[in-house]
Amino acid sequence: MSDAAVDEILEQIKALPAAEQSRLRVLLERILAQAPVDSSAVELDRKLIEAGLMSHLPDASPDRVQFGRWRPIHVEGVPVSRTIIEERR
């Protein structure tokens, strides 16, 4: 696909409402999850590890333990959501 075609698609995506962009992202993630692994990428990872530039491959799945320890930051004053709503008026 040419760069011009990709740029045109990106402009069309930017013009979509946020809800449709989110739906498109989910659909693309599903497609990419089913895509075959690029053997050149696997080969590059192997070479980086052999050269000592990487000690291991990063985990592709989210770190559920880290998300489980997440705690919101307490901020004093007016809630940010209220400030955003008031500024939009």
**Rounded percentage of the chain residues whose pLDDT exceeds 90:** 18
Q: Extract the tokens encoding 21.
A: 């962009």
pLDDT of residue 12 exceeding 90, the answer is: yes
The domain total for the chain is 1
pTM of the model: 0.38
Is 68 a residue whose pLDDT tops 80?
no
Q: In which band, very low, low, confident or very high, does the pLDDT at 62 lie, cut at 50, 70 and 90?
A: low
Measured in Å, how far apart are the chain's first and last C-alpha atoms? 43
Residue 35 has phi, psi (to 5 degrees) of: -70, 145
Distance in angstroms (rounded) separating the CA atoms of residues 64 and 50: 29
Residue 16: which pLDDT band, with cuts at 50, 70 and 90?
Answer: very high
CA distances to 22, 43, 47, 59 from 54, rounded to whole Å, are 33, 13, 9, 13
Structural domain span for residue 33: 3-88
What average pLDDT score do residues 61-73 get?
70
